[in-house]
Chain A
């Protein structure tokens, strides 16, 4: 029996143009979705770094002993939300302030040694930086009683959080739209491609081919086209990624804090292959089944 592989190769040779069109359209769909995913990934990284920047400054009541400070730090460190606690002495606080605003140096001298209190800079773990979690955390450490004041840039946090939820909703909407558009594009094109081969389907049916026999090479071809399209789409996206990287180096360095523009993660690349093959196989299968359903 002529193997499915052999019949698939024959089909591609007989209908090279159609195979190229199908592969091209799957590639276009994947590039579309992949580009969106890449942009989303990078935007998320930037925004994530903003969120991660949130930290809580707890100003220590003056006059506490070093032992007392250590005890408070240990207590904070043992809490699950806390990633790190850093002690900033009065001198360090002053040095930081003077470095930023040198004109302030004489004023600070005037005010004396304890104008800027010592503080604990608390960095929180990811997932504990929502406005609600922050408020709860800050409330609980206020009760400890070792601090004059606890400050966490409340407005900023709330604003970033709102911005992120709007952006994420937009992302989901746009992503779904792009995904559905890509799906339609591929399904309709492959429907036309199969339509161009309808005589072949009809003749196979007439001479007694089973549906499975007719479908097999279409399925295999769809899988191969999907894989080829994923490879092509990755090559194109990678080229785009490199191009953007070299052209927008400085801007990106600023926005992404030196991390640079990221490519899709490894599982994103894997997902492109999976999506390409599912698209190729699914669209061919669906189209052939539809035609077979109508044939005598």
Chain B
């Protein structure tokens, strides 16, 4: 599903990622971990095309993301789901409208939007909140809306950068359970985090970075 060959990402003199080679299979759940500044976010940004590697090759679902032309980027974004620490919702639109946005931009017919939005909200346990304003929800609920938006187009892979970073215990657990459920439906999931407690509670393969170097990668493991 995801393959990196000798990927380097430099910002000026500084290597945010240094010669990283890594393979992640379809359907895996992988934690990208390491201390602050290790390069976790940089790795995800390279994978969803927000940054280009300085050298090396990256394949996501067979597509060479490093070489993808700018005008083909929307195509890539429609095939991956992205979740951030700060949710990135439109607070003055309803929960339903926030999720529908991802369908609107791909030109989905209205009928499909009406059917699909409640269905994914059901997966994240927010079916009843479809007409609430996104900004009026709790942090945990907002993150679940963001996840619903990320999966509404049935992406092959979901990238989550510190998805529980802004959430306290109970809400973080709920979000992890949802991500796990999505993974069980076949979606490859990459979660960047340094929350040791959550990784222990939901054990999966970990790839650990320190100072831009891949220092450790555990075998595929399932709870």
Contact = CB atoms under 8 A, between A and B. Distances in A.
B45 A207 contact: no
Interface stretch (A57-65, A74-82, A195-203): A195-203
B196 interface: no
Contacts of B89: 203
Nearest to B76: A208
B105 A207 contact: yes
Nearest to B88: A203
A2 interface: yes
Given A207-B149, A209-B74, A296-B51, A200 B90 contact: yes
A208 B101 contact: no
A208 B88 contact: no
A43 B186 CA distance: 77
A208 B106 CA distance: 7
Given A1-B104, A207-B102, A213-B105, A14 B92 contact: yes
Interface residues of B, number: 27
Contacts of A203: 88-90, 101
Contacts of A211: 71
A199 B101 CA distance: 13
A207 B92 contact: no
Contacts of B45: 296
Interface in B34-54: 45, 49-51
A202 B88 contact: yes
Contacts of B208: none
B28 to A, nearest CB: 23
Interface of B: 45, 49-51, 71, 74-78, 82, 88-90, 92-93, 101-102, 104-110, 149, 153
10 contacts: A1-B108, A14-B93, A204-B101, A206-B88, A208-B74, A208-B106, A208-B153, A211-B71, A213-B105, A296-B45
